[in-house]
């Protein structure tokens, strides 16, 4: 009842908006609403911390009243109030009785496990008390950090390309789940594992420094970067990229110029609007051929679409199709061959009339005739 939407609150995919204890209690309520005569609980507290375990255990005790209940558990303190306890080992019952009778068996399996879990529970309870002693300032700082992290992550999602959201792993539900869970994972890593990371880095740094004291060798390889740049008749610049060898990266002192201006000083969205890219694996969407050619543009004359298709040598092929330019290409263009997809991608670039054209092995999937054209 403390939630703003109360019972109409959306719990999210797999209940990501709820804690482990809250999800377990919702599941118990879902079982009780059927008014069953037999209840079966299978490790309902195995994934909970001790604080949530106590809360869920109280809910279990209330749910068991007046019903036959079977509980499967490894945490033995969740079944202390059971009227009959069976201890299994490799599928065989080795001990049975109430909690009190089993605890009186010296050296018994139940007695040893229960006492070991008592010691573990005492340690965890002490840790919980230490966590609860944190000041409000520390808690508010952690909450503010998580909020900033989620805001920046959401902003990054908004800046992604359209094709990013067409992938199944980037659905709206998956993105909401990542926003809800990834920030908590980062917080856990920073709080619980940061000291281990620092310790490991210190040991690694000391080991490397110690080894360099006695002798070291380093091999440097000269890399050559060749740019083939020329002006075409339409005044556009065509850069043909042939990736034949593995190039590790550019020197930090190098730069790329756009009309004599360093690209790092220009707006990235403005630059992208002037670029045209045809990659070795072109990206097509589950739309018609005409819609794929004009994707991202509005009010494109159909004559321009035909002209771009002719330049890409795909117009005659399209006319042979039963639906012509209204033919659906399928998911990722799976109804077309590799060469046909590349020519549609080339036509899509021609429609945009980019100032800079990037071609990455665009003829790799074409036959010799289409490659020559």
Confidence band, pLDDT 50/70/90 cuts, at residue 234: very low
CB 175 within 8 A of CB 157: yes
| Residue 256 within any structural domain of the chain | yes
Highest mean pLDDT out of 17-21, 149-153, 179-183, 270-274 = 149-153
Same domain? 180 vs 125: no
Q: What is the pLDDT of residue 153?
A: 82
Q: What is the pLDDT of residue 221?
A: 47
Q: What is the pLDDT of residue 228?
A: 45
Same domain? 273 vs 333: yes
- Mean pLDDT of the region 147-155: 81
329-352 pLDDT per residue, tens: 888 788 888 788 888 888 988 898
| Residue 334 within any structural domain of the chain | yes
Report helix, strand or coil for 38.
strand
Same domain? 198 vs 249: no
Q: What angle do CA 165, 329, 241 make, to 5 degrees?
A: 70
The neighbouring-strand residues paired with 93 are 88
| Residue 56 within any structural domain of the chain | yes
Number of compact structural domains in the chain: 3
Q: Is the pTM of this model over 0.85?
A: no
- Mean pLDDT of the region 64-82: 81
163-182 pLDDT per residue, tens: 888 887 888 778 887 777 77
| Residue 141 within any structural domain of the chain | no
Same domain? 294 vs 332: yes
3-state secondary structure 233-262: CCCCEEEEECCCCCCCCCCCCCCCEECCEE
Q: What is the pLDDT of residue 217?
A: 55
Same domain? 255 vs 120: no
Rounded distance between C-alpha atoms, residue 10 and residue 309, angstroms: 48
Same domain? 236 vs 367: yes
Same domain? 197 vs 266: no
CA atoms within 13 A on the CB side of 128: 13
Rounded distance between C-alpha atoms, residue 302 and residue 33, angstroms: 61
252-283 pLDDT per residue, tens: 455 677 677 777 777 777 777 777 878 767 88
Q: Say which CATH number the domain at 73 has.
A: 3.40.50.300
User: Domain range for residue 190?
Assistant: 148-157+165-204
| Residue 185 within any structural domain of the chain | yes
Same domain? 21 vs 126: yes
What does the DSSP 8-state code read for residue 6? G
Confidence band, pLDDT 50/70/90 cuts, at residue 76: confident
- With tokens 């809360």, the residue in question is 55
| Residue 140 within any structural domain of the chain | no
Rounded distance between C-alpha atoms, residue 318 and residue 324, angstroms: 5
- Mean pLDDT of the region 317-325: 89
Same domain? 362 vs 236: yes
Same domain? 152 vs 113: no
What is the pLDDT of the chain when averaged over all its residues? 74
Confidence band, pLDDT 50/70/90 cuts, at residue 183: low
- Go through 53-64 and write b for each residue having 16 or more CB atoms within 10 A of its CB, e for each that does not: bebbbebbeebe
| Residue 142 within any structural domain of the chain | no
Q: What is the pLDDT of residue 190?
A: 56
CB 309 within 8 A of CB 303: no
Same domain? 349 vs 276: yes
Same domain? 343 vs 237: yes
Q: What is the pLDDT of residue 247?
A: 34
| Residue 138 within any structural domain of the chain | no
């Amino acid at each position: 009842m403390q939630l703003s939407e109360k019972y109409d609150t959306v719990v999210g995919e797999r209940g990501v908006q709820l804690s482990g204890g809250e999800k377990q209690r919702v599941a118990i309520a879902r079982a009780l609403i059927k008014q069953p005569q037999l209840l079966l609980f299978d490790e309902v507290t195995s994934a909970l911390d001790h604080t949530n375990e106590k809360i869920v255990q109280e809910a279990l005790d209330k749910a068991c009243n007046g019903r036959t209940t079977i509980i499967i558990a490894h945490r033995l303190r969740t079944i202390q109030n059971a009227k009959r306890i069976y201890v299994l080992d490799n599928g065989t019952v080795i001990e049975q009785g109430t909690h009190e009778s089993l605890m009186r068996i010296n050296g018994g399996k139940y007695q040893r496990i229960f006492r070991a879990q008592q010691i573990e529970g005492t340690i965890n309870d002490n840790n919980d008390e230490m966590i609860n002693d944190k000041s409000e300032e520390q808690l508010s700082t952690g909450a503010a950090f998580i909020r900033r992290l989620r805001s920046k992550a959401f902003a990054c999602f908004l800046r992604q390309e359209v094709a990013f959201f067409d992938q199944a792993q980037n659905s709206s539900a998956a993105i909401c789940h990542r926003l809800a869970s990834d920030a908590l994972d980062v917080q856990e890593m920073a709080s619980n594992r940061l000291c281990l990371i620092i310790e490991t880095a210190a040991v690694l740094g000391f080991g490397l420094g110690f080894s360099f004291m006695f002798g070291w060798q380093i091999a440097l390889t000269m890399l050559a970067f060749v740019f083939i740049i020329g002006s075409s008749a339409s005044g556009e610049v065509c850069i043909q990229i042939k990736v034949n060898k593995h190039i590790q990266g550019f020197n930090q002192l190098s730069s790329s110029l756009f009309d004599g201006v360093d690209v790092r000083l220009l707006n990235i969205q403005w630059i992208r609007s002037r670029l045209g890219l045809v990659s070795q694996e072109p990206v097509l969407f589950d739309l018609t051929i005409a819609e794929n050619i004009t994707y991202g543009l509005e009010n494109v004359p159909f004559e321009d679409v035909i002209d771009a298709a002719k330049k890409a040598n795909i117009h005659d092929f399209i006319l042979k199709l039963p639906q012509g330019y209204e033919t659906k290409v399928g998911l990722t263009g799976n109804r077309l061959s590799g060469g046909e997809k590349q020519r549609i991608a080339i036509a899509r670039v021609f429609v945009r009339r980019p100032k800079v054209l990037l071609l990455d092995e665009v003829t790799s999937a074409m036959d010799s005739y289409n490659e020559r054209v």
